Amino acid sequence: MSPWKKKPAPTPVCCIRPILPCIAATLMCISVFFLFLQHSPHLPHHPVPVTIQASCDVSRGKWVRSEQPPRFRYNYTCPFHRNSWNCVKNRRKGIEEINSWTWVPEGCGSVGREEGILGFDPAMFLRRMKGKNIGFIGDSLNENFVVAFLCSLREGDGGAKKTKRRNSWRGGYFPKFNVTVGYHRSVLLAKYQWQPANESKHSGDTDLKGIYRVDIDVPSDDWINATTFYDVLVFNTGHWWGFDKFPKETPLVFFRDGKAIIPALGLLNGFQLVLSSMVQYIEREVPRKTMKFWRTQSPRHFHGGDWNQNGSCLFKKPLKEDQLDAWFEPANNGINKEARVLNKLIWNALQGTDIKLLDLTHLSEFRADAHPALWLGREDALSIWGQDCLHWCLPGLPDTWVDILAAQIIQQLDKGFEV
C-alpha cells in the first residue's frame, strides 16, 4: 500500500456551474445586508447611557442638525403606531430631515451633543423599571407621547404585546421585564357629559343645542380607578379647552358639588378650577409612593389660519429662537398662543405639590417642521380635518420627550425615590 494518499478525483465542471448563481446570490445578499446595517435610517441605535447632572435644565437649549445620516429609533412596523402619526409609512416628505435634529440642552456639558439627551437605552430603562407600571392620562397629545414611548421601549423587548389594563385606551406589556405602560384618554381630566337642550336648565337659549356638564371636583371614569395600578403617572390637559371644541351652541357648563356654578364661568376660569380640583385630588388620593409628572403644553404650529381655516405647517426646518415670541407670546394674540397661556395656570396649580413639572414646551416650540401636516394616511384626511399641525410625526420630536421623561424617572430613582 502506498504511503501517499490518493488524490481525490476533480469535481466535474458540470457539477460546479449550477451552484455558481446560488453562491453569487448569497454573497450579494450578505453584502446588501451589511450595507443596510450601515446606512438604513430605520434601525434603532442604542448608545451607552449618559448620567445627566442634577443641575442640568434639559428644557432649555437649541436644536443642532447632525451631519450623520438620520437614524429612526423605531420603524413603521411598530405595532403600537397610530396610522395618522406614522410618518414613515405615510411617506411624509422630509421625514429624514425631521429626524436629523438633536436637542442640545444648555449648560449640560457634553450631554446631547451626539446621542440626544441621554443616549436613551430602552433595555437599560426597562431593567431599572422591572415589575413597575407607567401610566399616561390626558388628551391625544399624551397619546402621541405614549406611542413614542411604547415604540421606543419595544426596541428593548421584542416580545412586547398590546394590552389594555384598568380601562386604558391603549397600552403595551413588556414580558421580559414585567413592565406595563398604559394610556387613559381623559381630555378634560374632570368628568363631563353631554346634556341635550331639552334636558338642560339652559334650554331658554334658542341657539343652544345642549351643554357639556363638567363636574370640576369629580375625575372622569377613564382614570379614577386606575391610579393605584401605576408606579409612575404622567398627566396633561389643555388642548380641548378652546372655543373651537366647545362653541357657544354647545358650551361647557361647570358644576361643583352637583350644582351649577353661578355666575357661569368662561373657559379659562373653568380650566383653572378643574386644574386646581384635579391637582388636589391627585395629591389626596394617589399614593405618595407614586412618581407623578405633569406635562406642559405641546405647542401648535398653524400658519396662515387655524386648523379649520386652512392653516398649514409645511416647514422644512425648525424655527429660530428670535421667531418664537411672534408665534407663541400671548401679548401678540396669535392663533398658537394657547400653550403659554395655559402653562402659567399649570405652573401655579402645581406649586407646593409633589407633582413634578415635565417641561417640554420650549424645546417643542422650535419644531414647526415636525408635524404630520398633509401626510395623514388617508386620502380624504385633508378634506375632513385639514393639515395636522398639532400632533407630531413618529418617529420624531416625541422621542426627545421620551428621553427627557426617562431621564427624570431614572434621576428620581437614583436620588432614592422608591416606587
> Which tops the pLDDT comparison, 364 or 7?
364
What pLDDT, in 10s, does the model give residues 195-242? 998 876 655 566 899 999 999 999 999 999 999 999 999 999 999 998
Above 90 in pLDDT, residue 280? yes
Confidence band (pLDDT; 50, 70, 90) for 250? very high
- H-type alpha helices, 286-397: 324-328, 338-350, 361-365, 381-385
User: Could you tell me what percent of the chain has a pLDDT over 90?
Assistant: 74
14-23, 133-142, 186-195, 383-392, range with the lowest pLDDT:
14-23
Using CB atoms within 10 Å of the CB of residue 388, give its burial: 0 to 12 exposed, 13 to 18 middle, 19+ buried: buried
Q: Is 379 left (phi over 0), alpha (psi -120 to 50) or beta?
A: alpha
Q: How is the chain split into domains, by residue range?
A: 77-414
Altogether, the residues listed in the chain come to a count of 419
At residue 363, the pLDDT reads 98
Confidence band (pLDDT; 50, 70, 90) for 406? very high
What pLDDT, in 10s, does the model give residues 319-368? 999 999 999 999 999 999 999 999 999 999 999 999 999 999 999 999 99
At residue 201, the pLDDT reads 63
Above 80 in pLDDT, residue 26? no
Contact 330, 340 (CB under 8 A): yes
Q: How far is CA 58 from the centre of its chain?
A: 17
Domain 77-414 matching CATH 3.40.50.1110: the answer reads: yes
CA distance 139 to 189: 9
Query: Residue 268 CB: number of other CB atoms within 10 A?
Result: 12
- Alpha-carbon distances of 108 from 57, 61, 62, 101, 398, rounded to whole Å: 7, 9, 12, 18, 20
Residue 283 neighbours by CB under 8 Å, 6+ apart: 353, 354, 355
CA distance 135 to 147: 12
CA distance 315 to 370: 8
Above 70 in pLDDT, residue 153? yes
Task: Summarize the confidence of residues 88-113 as an average pLDDT.
Answer: 86
Above 80 in pLDDT, residue 17? no
At residue 106, the pLDDT reads 84
Contact 378, 388 (CB under 8 A): no
> Which tops the pLDDT comparison, 110 or 139?
139
Q: What is the largest CA-CA distance in the chain?
A: 119
User: Could you tell me what percent of the chain has a pLDDT over 70?
Assistant: 83
SS3 173: strand
Nearest to 70 by CA among 94, 53, 91: 94
Q: For 148-173, b where at least 16 C-beta lie within 10 A, e where not — what string?
A: bbbbbbbbbbeebeeeebbebbbbbb
At residue 112, the pLDDT reads 46
Nearest to 179 by CA among 156, 213, 203, 205: 156
At residue 76, the pLDDT reads 97
What pLDDT, in 10s, does the model give residues 33-74? 333 333 334 434 444 344 566 668 899 999 999 988 888 999
